[in-house]
Each structure stands twice: as structure tokens, then as C-alpha cells.
Amino acid sequence: MFVYMDALFRANGSGCPLNPVYGFGGLFTTDTPGIRNVPPYLLSPAMVMVAGSDGTARVFRIPAEGADVRDERALLRDLTAYLTTAPLTGNEACVGWYLDQVVLPVIGAAAMRLGVPTVPRWMRRLDDKWSKTMGFSLERAFFQGWYPSNRGEVKDSLYDLTLTDAVKMCGMTPAPETDAPATAEEQQKELLMRRIIDIGNLYAMYANVTGVS
């Protein structure tokens, strides 16, 4: 069976550069001008429609008014449960418009931000395009399969997702600084250890979202 899917999106935070004028009641489609040049983590799924080739259809949505992060989590949980519960398995062929550039990347990035498990095969492999296997580059979990239409027109700042930004985006607290070490070398080691702790925490969230062990 085929699964047909489309979605409406809302801006996630004030950093999203989309012009509200092009929105549909404050929401955006995959055809909204400029949407493919927006990193997935700057968008949130607001309504998702799933239709099966057998004629069944379901709509998952976030309330238009008073929505908060709990509503977004509920949408993702309900969508994943529907797509992975009999008669569906999560392995059906999925058909959509800019599915690989907008719809699935936004859903995957939202799952990572919120720590909500999603359909595992939708999540970006962290070792994609590496010359050696097992090289897990964690920022790929937030950018997902994002390839902007015109990289030259994208603001550089949209690419500058720092490790600290990612940790905070996921609702975690960055590893705290310890008492200032005595030497410059010890300070450098302490900095790297804090970053390693943050990387470990992010990977634990990725593992939860994707079901990897």
C-alpha cells in the first residue's frame, strides 16, 4: 500500500525567515516561497494529513490557538503511532510533494528537538557521506535531509547551529563549567570534556528518537 502525506508548517521561534504574507492562515506549505531554504529545525509541523491508497485518511493537528510544546509532542506521537500500528508498519512507500526536502526533514528535526520517537527510516543517518563508517555527526539530526534550493541566498547565520544551541533546543542544560583550572591546558581539557558531555546527551536523545542501540 502507498501512503500519501502532506503537511502545513508554522515557524519555530523568531529566527524563521519566511514572510507571513505568503502563509495560509499563518501556516506554510511546501510551496511557500523560500521554505526550502529554511533549515528544518526552524519549522514545526502544524497539521499533517495521511491518506492510504485504500481510501483511509487521518489528520493530525496542533490547535490554532494556545498551542505549546506539549501539543507538538502529541502530534508527533500520534502520527508515529498511526503509521507504525497495524495495518500499517512504518515501511510503506510514502508519496508527497517536496517530501524529502521539507516534510520529512521538518518532522525528523521536530522529533529530535522534542525527544519524541518517530518512524526510524525517516531520520537522517548520522554517518551519511562519510568516507569511513561509524562517523556520527550529530548536527545532521537537526538539519536532516535539508538541501536549500539556492545556498547562496541563505543567510549564513542559519547554518550556524552551535552545540550549545542544539542542547538548549532539546530542553537540556549544557554541561556546567567547573572551578577554573590552573593552567591553559587544563582549561582546554575542561572545555572539551564539557562538550563531550553535551555530545553524549544529544546522542542519547537521538538514540531514543530513532530506536538505535
Question: To the nearest whole number, what is the mean pLDDT of the chain?
Answer: 85
Nearest to 46 by CA among 22, 62, 57: 62
pLDDT digits over 84-99, tens only?
Answer: 998 888 888 899 999 9
Q: Please give the biggest Cα pair distance in the chain.
A: 68
146 versus 141: the higher-pLDDT residue is 141
Sign of CA dihedral 149, 155, 156, 158: negative
In the Cβ-directed half-sphere of 6, how many Cα atoms lie within 13 Å?
Answer: 5
DSSP labels for 78-108? HHHHHHHSTT--S-SEEE-SSIIIIIHHHHH
**β pairing state of 2-11 and 43-52:** antiparallel
Task: Tell me the whole-structure pTM to 2 decimals.
Answer: 0.86
Give CA–CA dist 140/121, Å, rounded.
14
Q: What is the pLDDT of residue 158?
A: 62
Please name each of the domains of the chain with its CATH number: 2-153 (3.30.420)
pLDDT digits over 79-137, tens only?
Answer: 999 999 988 888 888 999 999 889 999 999 999 999 999 988 888 778 776 555 667 88
Residue 13 has pLDDT above 80, yes or no: no
